[in-house]
Amino acid sequence: MSGPEKLKLWGGRFTGTTDPLMQMYNESLSYDKRMYAQDILGSQAYARATCKAGILTDSERDTIIEGLEKVKQEWASNTFVVKPDVDEDIHTANERRLGEIIGTHIAGKLHTGRSRNDQVATDMRLWLRDELAEIEKHLVEFLRATVARASEQIDALMPGYTHVQRAQPIRWSHWLMSHAFEFLADLERLREFKKRVNRSPLGCGALAGNPFNLDREFLAKELGFDGVIPNSLLGVADRDFVTETLQWATLMMNHVSRWSEDLIIYSTAEFGFVTLADAYSTGSSLMPQKKNSDSLELLRGKSGRVFGQMAGFLYTVKGLPSSYNKDLQEDKEPLFDCVTTVKNSIQIATGVVSTLNIHPEKMKAALTMDMLATDLADYLVRKGVPFRETHHISGSCVREAEVRGLSGIDQLGLETLQKIDKRFEADVLQVFDFERSVELRQSTGGTCKASVLKQIEEATNLLQ
């Protein structure tokens, strides 16, 4: 055996050459090279640990660490030269280049007791830990922008909807906070599962553990992990951290999609409640008058992409036997794409909510008196009439206004209302006030001003 096959980390067992298609099918450097910094960081820590275990001398350790730093600089400056016939993945590429820089005799000692099985799992956890910190920062910024807008525009009233039908008047800020608390729950879940990502598999070897009395706790501390995975078989096989990230992202993007759908509807000419900034809109190639909410439509579409990645990966891992299997190479592309999609989506959403304009006059014009039918029923409840009876009476008022072709139940007048039910008194006319209706919803979580301000305060405290 000679040539590239001899240089492969696993080449000693094999005498034939690899089918070129199989070589392409097997490689992962084209996408896992994004973990170059984490791979080098893990290798530098491993050099310190193997020195501590007596495998490397202090001089060899320092030579390896300095050589790896040069490899990292090549990646960072985009001068690293890939050798496709040899560099299957980021681990192989970095070790091959390290040998070229410091000599293969010393470089060859770095992999002692280590497998690509525990190495890749470590790299992915380190990479994901960094990315989740970025996602958390972006999510906090989005929430702060949402809460700030809710506070600034607390007085705007709009229709609240069920079944996409006008239901009851609410505050625009109440709508904003309904989504804010969904995303706050996403933030809470993110912070919770980050702890499970931040556990070290390094030192597990291929599957059975390390035979050189390597101090795994020392390694974990060097890399900023909270602790070690206590079982070596699990350490190399566990991809729950990938699955959990994809599941979290699916739920979070589902919330992004529903938030986007509302704003898409509210931005149509038929509603006219909001206008998106030009920076987050596009036009039509045919119709000059069009201003499309493409940012929101893309956000809505990207949620399906993330869900597909999660479903696909679960299918990959559901039937795998224990320990490491090559199928697990399929963990990276969905994870990488998902993380990129989520990071970009949150930043786009932040831009949208920070720059859109609302039109309070159009929101208010969309309020109709039939939306106060429940308030009319509640009026009689306060006079001691059972709600099931008042619901029927209020419905009769709505029907009477429709039969007469009136614009709303407020147009019936006191005399007609008293003909429908004699318990209506002169003060019933006070019911037909949208601001009053909103302010009556004073219980916790309601849409009155004090309640929404309390929601804003609670969210602000959670974001500190």
pLDDT tens column, 236-265? 999 999 999 999 999 999 999 999 999 999
Q: Do domains 4-107 and 116-205+230-365 have the same CATH topology?
A: no
- State which amino acid sits at residue 180: A
d(C-alpha 424, C-alpha 460), whole Å: 44
Catalytic residues: 163, 284
d(C-alpha 211, C-alpha 216), whole Å: 12
Residues 247 and 312: beta-carbon distance below 8 Å: no
Write down the pLDDT at residue 10.
Answer: 46
Write down the pLDDT at residue 2.
Answer: 47
Q: Which segment of 20-24, 65-69, 150-154, 411-415 scores lowest on mean pLDDT?
A: 20-24
Mark out the alpha helices in 227-271 (DSSP H runs). Answer: 232-237, 240-266
Query: What CATH class has 116-205+230-365?
Result: mainly alpha
**Both tokens assigned to 280:** 């987050």
The matching CATH number, chosen from 1.10.1240.10, 1.10.275.10, 3.40.50.720, 3.40.50.620, for 4-107 is 1.10.275.10
Residues 369 and 402: beta-carbon distance below 8 Å: no
Write down the pLDDT at residue 130.
Answer: 97
**Both tokens assigned to 370:** 């039939």
d(C-alpha 301, C-alpha 312), whole Å: 17
Q: Which segment of 249-263, 278-292, 317-331, 405-419 scores lowest on mean pLDDT?
A: 278-292
* Mean predicted confidence (pLDDT) in 326-330: 94
Write down the pLDDT at residue 283.
Answer: 65
Residue 9 pLDDT > 70, yes or no? no
Write down the pLDDT at residue 281.
Answer: 87
Domain ranges in the chain? 4-107, 116-205+230-365, 369-432
What percentage of residues in the chain have a pLDDT greater than 70? 94
Q: For domain 369-432, say whether CATH 1.10.357.10 is its number.
A: no
Residues 346 and 138: beta-carbon distance below 8 Å: yes
Would residue 160 be called left, alpha or beta, if left means φ above 0 and alpha means ψ between -120 and 50 degrees? beta
Residues 451, 456, 460, 462: is their CA dihedral positive or negative?
positive
Residues 416, 422, 427, 430: is their CA dihedral positive or negative?
negative
Write down the pLDDT at residue 18.
Answer: 66
* 372: DSSP letter: G
Q: Give the predicted TM-score (pTM) of the model.
A: 0.91
Would residue 226 be called left, alpha or beta, if left means φ above 0 and alpha means ψ between -120 and 50 degrees? alpha
Write down the pLDDT at residue 288.
Answer: 57
Residue 322 pLDDT > 60, yes or no? yes
* Mean predicted confidence (pLDDT) in 363-383: 95
Residues 158 and 262: beta-carbon distance below 8 Å: no
d(C-alpha 260, C-alpha 123), whole Å: 34
What are the start-end ranges of the E strands in 359-431? Answer: none
The length of the chain in residues reads: 464
Is the pLDDT higher at 291 or at 371?
Answer: 371
Residue 196 pLDDT > 90, yes or no? yes
Write down the pLDDT at residue 179.
Answer: 98
CB proximity list for 70: less than 8 A, separation 6 or greater: 101
Residues 296 and 233: beta-carbon distance below 8 Å: no
